[in-house]
């Protein structure tokens, strides 16, 4: 959703900065960019920087091997719970069916 919004804003800015259909005059080489072009370039650079930062964060999270740690934690918890469940079943069995 956020990417779609950013792309829409960029397309709108690019559309506004588009030249008209008239043939432009020969401009001097030292002429500065328009204000809208500078704003567009700034927004593009901020967008690229934020995408790069997010990508770097994702890569660093993958480097921590969190998925493997979560899987190991789940397996250890499952083993512990199954052990205590077995003990509870055994106790209930002996409560309902006592041996003389």
Interval 27-52: pLDDT, tens: 554 456 688 888 889 999 999 998 88
Does residue 17 carry a pLDDT above 80? no
- The pTM for the full model equals 0.36
The pLDDT assigned to 93 comes to 92
Look at the chain and report how many structural domains it folds into.
2
| CB burial readout 27-63, b (16+ within 10 A) else e | eeeeeeeeeeeeebeeeeeeeeeeeeeeeeeeeeeee
Quote the domain boundaries for residue 72. 65-100
Question: Angle 2-16/35-63 helices, nearest 10 degrees?
Answer: 160
- Do 78 and 57 belong to one domain? no
Query: What's the pLDDT band for 21 if we cut at 50, 70, 90?
Result: very low
- Do 47 and 57 belong to one domain? yes
- Do 71 and 87 belong to one domain? yes
Only one residue has tokens 């921590």, namely 64
- Do 81 and 91 belong to one domain? yes
The pLDDT assigned to 34 comes to 81
Q: Is residue 17 part of a domain?
A: no
The pLDDT assigned to 74 comes to 92
- Do 74 and 93 belong to one domain? yes
- Do 77 and 99 belong to one domain? yes
**Tally of CA atoms within 13 A in the half-sphere of 35 that contains its CB:** 0
- Do 69 and 99 belong to one domain? yes
Give per-residue pLDDT as tens, 50-92.
Answer: 888 988 888 887 777 777 888 899 999 999 999 999 999 999 9
Only one residue has tokens 């960019």, namely 33
């Amino acid at each position: 959703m956020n990417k779609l919004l950013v792309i829409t804003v960029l397309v709108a800015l690019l559309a506004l900065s588009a030249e008209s259909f008239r043939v432009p005059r020969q401009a001097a080489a030292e002429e500065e960019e328009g204000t809208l072009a500078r704003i567009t370039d700034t927004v593009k650079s901020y967008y690229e920087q934020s995408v790069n930062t997010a990508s770097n964060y994702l890569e660093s999270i993958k480097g921590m091997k969190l998925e493997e740690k979560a899987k190991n934690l789940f397996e250890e918890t499952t083993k512990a719970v199954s052990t205590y469940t077995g003990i509870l079943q055994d106790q209930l069995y002996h409560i309902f069916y006592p041996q003389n």
